[in-house]
Structure 1
Amino acid sequence: MSPYEDSLRKAASKDVNPVEPVEVVEVHPDLYRPDVDVSAIDRHRLKRKIDFRLLPWLALLYLMNFLDRGSIGNARLYNMQKNLHITDNQYLFALTVFFFPYALFEVPSNLALRYLRPSRWLSFIVFVWGAAMTFHGLAHNYGDLIGLRFLLGLAEAGLYPGIVFYLSCWYKRSELGSRVAIFFSSATVAGAFSGLLAAAIHNMDGVGGRPGWAWIFILEGLATILIAVASFWVLQDFPETAKFLTEAERVFTIRGLQEDMRFSAGGEEFKLAYLWQCLLDWKTYVAMGIYMGFDGPLFAFSLFTPTILNELGFKSTAANLLSVPVYVWGCIMTCVIGFLGDRIGNRGYINLGLFGTGLVGYVLLIVSRNAALSYFAVYLAAAAWVSSNVEGSYKRSAVLGMAIGFGNLNGAVTANVYRTRDKPWYGLGHGIVLAYIAIGWLCSLTYIFLLRRENKARDRGERDEVIEGIDNKDANPDNGRYSSVADARRAKGDMWSGFRYTL
């Protein structure tokens, strides 16, 4: 084996021991600190320490994000639409207007997060959407509602892609799936809480001269504002500045991340070239299709589940309460699949299975004319929530913003597909969501096929770069010339010949 091939195998292997001073020492030597002894660090204990400091608060933020976004569906059941004197079409447009800033602001928000630090930027956007949420309860007309939904979408845009990018700066690819599952499960918990809270808060109808639906917005908004203020002190930034880590723990963490191609955790500076890499990479656009198949059904499900149950014959409070076990089921599935993905890998195949489950659920919803069968099908549909791809190709905040942003833009479509004239079975809405899930399934299959083909090409040496001082018969100048393997890794990211995609 040549020195070049040996260096590639070491760097690409998942089993590289981060304690050993491998060649990645060349990357950010001021942070890698090869002089620091980390032999006494217990990796599992350190990961538990990081988990405890990061995940609970991130889960709380995403819980509030999803709770505040979807509360309008619960409030609608308590005469909000009648009190604001808006038509069914105006209500649907109010849902739609949320998604345009929500999708378009995700890329700049992620870049701002890196420049301004998570503790500042995330706290700021949470405060803004908390204020917008509170003022929902003070709205008097259609114009007020439209303006507030736009502001809510603008502020909430940065949280989900920001958290995924933030976690990718703390965890290896083999560790990320279960962590994303933990914080993402709070979305399903939020769905459960949403129905319970709405049913309870509605009892404040008439307090302070405000209707019950208004208090749903006001109380949830004020709670979000308090959490935003606390976030400024609770949230940690990146590993290189984390105060809760010792110097040895910090070095250990950064070494492991750099070996896993997580250079952003080592103080990587943003370059415009990274954005162009995202725009020219086919994987970005296939990932958009996956998120499209994921986010479209997600938003339709969260916004309309109470309404669908209501139209099946359940009263307003009963419809809100019956949505609770559906979300609990989604929470359990999210955690199970996240941990399973990290244990066995092959998340692409898991995606196919989960999208397939969602397809079955929505086919049943389309053909069913029985309330009990439709309610059961909602549980199958909920399983499709967890089908998201958070593999190593998303190493740049811009890619995450683009892929997730495009997926969220499709919420503007699915916010309009459950029309009042189609009740109670909503065949058109279920059919369109079914099409979205089918797109997600096909894009996942395409992703698996093309990534496997690319990995094989790299195994054959077809992507090898010319490295100064290393004799490699497969090296091709068209793949680039670099002074060292570390320079090639840093410049090319996941396009580097030694990188292998996780299927």
Structure 2
Amino acid sequence: MATTNGSHTDEYSIASPTSILGNKTLYEDADPEAPSEKQSWRHGISLKHEKAILRRLDFHLLPFVSLLYLLSFLDRSNIGNAKVAGMVSDLHLVGLQYNTAAAVFFILYCFAEIPSNVLLKLLRPSRWIPSIMVIWGIIMTLMCLVNSYAGLLVARVFLGLAEAGLFPGVTFYLSLWYKRSEQSKRVAIFFSAATIAGAFGGLLAYAIEKLEGRAGLRGWQWIFLIEGLVTVAFAVAAYWLMYDYPSTATFLTEDERNFVIDRLKHDSTDLATHYDIKFVWQALTDWKCWIQVCIYLGIIIPVYAFSIFIPTIIQELGYTASNAQLLSTPPYIAGCFFTILVGVYSDKLHLRGPFIVGCASVAITGYSILYATPPSLPGVSYAGTVIAACGVFPSIAVVLAWTGGNAGGDIKRGVALALTIGVANLGGICSSFIYRSRDAPRFYIGHGTVIGCLLLSVLGSCTGMVTYWRLNKQKEELCRRENIDQSQAHRFRDMGDASPLFRYTI
């Protein structure tokens, strides 16, 4: 891949009809009125060619950003593998000290996400995202030198600060390339890297532990060292491998770039793409954005709790430390499969809320099994962890696609996503304390708290579905009454999703 070094100020410039229709190579035989033509058409291009362009976007964007998030999730959650590998005894952690070390990651992580997304818009993604990766990769690498509880706390705080911009940044980044109806599948593929990281993390930790004692380092220190160095290596490569915007994408022809820009313009009903502080306040004061925060909070607490404590939960079922590392892999594999499957069908059916409710219900079933099963049936409890993973992980992508798709305008969308992810990620602090060592092996408080959070997500989703359906009806009536159509889109350019032409996804 080649880097894109052009300015980002015109990424949503409007392609003229001539440029869209005039390329005889790309739009050969593009006469939608021809009686022999059987294909469907959109914006002057056949769906066949549109799908080809989307495949090209997917090929150049999704594998790379998914790899970046895999490394991010691996670096934030490997503390769970390090715990099982002996970190707790070596650092003399007692009581809730491990839980505190897991929790402090989220303090600066949450507050840095909105500024990070604004900076990503003002700067270039191919510079901002690799830069923060280099920083957290170095921090992760140096964590192998931690020899005290205080040192572990400091390292985790700054790791959270450095990682803050990646997940909301890439989620926002994808919304600058794909239409709203196409985002759930792409975010699902991107987020599936988290489940792959969980599966790969267990296998990698099992293998790295074999280096125990080499160069005077314990197995858990090798986990931090190797995974940190890998992150730094890929971050450096990202400066040259990451693209910025459709308007500067070198893997597309000029006509293809114009087409991508034009379809995004139509999808957003010509809403504003420039920076203005008022768009930030539109997001912060929109009560609908806070509904999405509640929905995401109800999902993210179970996700983080699962990631940080699954090796411990499995070990407490009676398995050895090494087997606990290995057995943490299958739940993530199952979660990965269903994450992509749900994302695909959510886009195909243009629905968000019903899928969140369905996934949360599956997760509640899994955690109910964990809650009710006695220690004498470890196999049943383990099946509960697999079922829980199939419910909690798929919900994340759908919630974020719902949040981004229902926020109108680039800046409001970026802030809404960062707000949802940032505020809800404070739930990571909760996740770090609900599974306490003294509650093993049943973990009633942990499993019960997670079930309550999932019910919050169900309630928020039902509220969102009713709200968006009601607002769409009101806008349809207003457009009929005032004779408002797409030709008047410029009048409502700065209104965001409050524009009468904007329709919410349910």
Residue 342 of structure 2 corresponds to residue 346 of structure 1: no
What SS does the corresponding residue of 2:500 show, helix, strand or coil? coil
**What is the aligned partner in structure 1 of residue 6 from structure 2?**
none
Q: 1:483–1:361: structure 2 CA closer, same or farther, 3 Å change rule?
A: closer
CA deviations on 1:264-320 (whole Å, 9 max, x unpaired) are: 8xx922111111111221211100011101111100000000000001100001001
Match among 292, 305, 322 for residue 317 of structure 1: 322
Give 1:393's aligned residue: 406
Q: Tell me the distance in 2 between the aligned counterparts of 1:352 and 1:315.
A: 36
For 1:384, the equivalent position in structure 2 comes to 392
**Which letter does structure 1 place at the counterpart of 2:407?**
Y
Counterpart of 1:457, as a letter, is Q
Is residue 288 from structure 1 mapped to residue 293 from structure 2 by the alignment? Answer: yes
Q: Report 1:30-179 matches (<5 A).
A: 30-38=13-21, 40-41=26-27, 42-179=49-186
Distance in 2, matches of 1:221 and 1:185, equals 21
Q: Match of 2:182, as an amino acid?
A: E
Amino acid at match of 1:350: F
Secondary structure of the equivalent of 1:457?
Answer: helix
- Structure 1 consecutive aligned stretches of length 4 or more whose deviation exceeds 6 Å: none
Between the aligned partners of 1:29 and 1:199, the Cα distance in structure 2 is: 47
Instruction: Tell me by how many angstroms 1:487 deviates.
Output: 2.2
Taking structure 1 as reference, are residues 310 and 460 closer, same or farther at Cα in structure 2, changes over 3 Å only?
same
Letter in 1 for 2:457: G
Q: Please give the alpha-carbon distance, in whole angstroms, between the structure 2 residues aligned to 1:376 and 1:483.
A: 52
The CA deviation at 1:183 is 0.9
Partner of 1:413: 430
CA distance in 2, matches of 1:317, 1:102: 31
Letter in 2 for 1:497: P
Q: C-alpha deviations, 1:463-492, integer Å up to 9, x for none?
A: x5xxxxxxx85489xxxxx99723234211
Runs (5+) with no aligned partner, structure 2: 1-9, 28-48
Pairing partner for 2:443 from 414, 426, 431: 426
Residue 500 (1) aligns with residue 503 (2): yes
Q: Shift of residue 450 of structure 1? A: 0.6
Q: Is the 8 A contact 1:58 1:183 kept in 2?
A: yes
Query: What is the alpha-carbon distance in structure 2 between the residues aligned to residue 260 and residue 122 of structure 1?
Result: 26
Match of 1:236 in 2: 243
By how many angstroms is 1:37 displaced?
3.6
Residue 449 (1) aligns with residue 466 (2) = yes
- Aligned pair in 2 of structure 1 residues 289, 36: CA closer, same or farther (>3 Å)? same
Given the superposition, is the C-alpha separation of residues 354 and 281 from structure 1 closer, same or farther in structure 2, using an over 3 Å criterion?
same
Distance 1:473 1:380, change over 3 A: closer
**What amino acid sits opposite 1:485 in the alignment?**
Q
Conservation of the 8 A alpha-carbon contact between 1:168 and 1:262: no
Contact 2:12–2:265 (CA<8 Å) still a contact in 1?
no
Q: CA deviation at 1:359?
A: 1.1
The corresponding residue for 2:36 is none
Is 1:365 the equivalent of 2:370?
yes
Whether the aligned pair in 1 keeps the contact of 2:269 and 2:486 (CA below 8 Å) is no
Distance 2:250 2:273 in 1: 19
Q: Which moved more, 1:147-156 or 1:241-250?
A: 241-250
Rounded to whole Å, the distance in 2 between the matches of 1:93 and 1:252 is 50
Q: Is the 8 A contact 1:102 1:154 kept in 2?
A: yes
* Residue 486 of structure 1: aligned partner: 489
Deviations 1:368-405 (A, max 9, x none): 11211111111121122211321211352111110111
Matches of 1:107 and 1:186 in 2, distance apart? 23
- Tell me how far apart the structure 2 counterparts of residues 240 and 34 of structure 1 sit (CA, whole Å): 17
User: Does structure 2 retain, via aligned residues, the 8 Å contact 1:172–1:262?
Assistant: no
For 2:425 and 2:294, the matched residues in 1 are separated by 11
Counterpart AA for 1:393: N
SS at match of 1:295: helix
Residue number in structure 1 paired with 2:273: 268
Q: Give the direction of change, closer, same or farther, for the CA distance of 1:349–1:473 in structure 2 (3 Å limit).
A: closer
The CA deviation at 1:129 is 0.9
The residue correspondences of 1:216-231 to structure 2 (distance < 5 A) are 216-231=223-238
Alignment check: 8 A CA contact 1:169 1:262 kept: no
Identity of aligned residues (%): 41
Q: For the Cα contact (< 8 Å) 2:336–2:393, is it kept in 1?
A: no
Q: Tell which deviates more after alignment, 218-227 or 370-379.
A: 370-379
Question: Which blocks of at least 5 consecutive residues in structure 1 are unaligned?
Answer: 1-26, 465-471, 477-481
Name the CA distance, whole Å, in 1 between partners of 2:301 and 2:11: 40
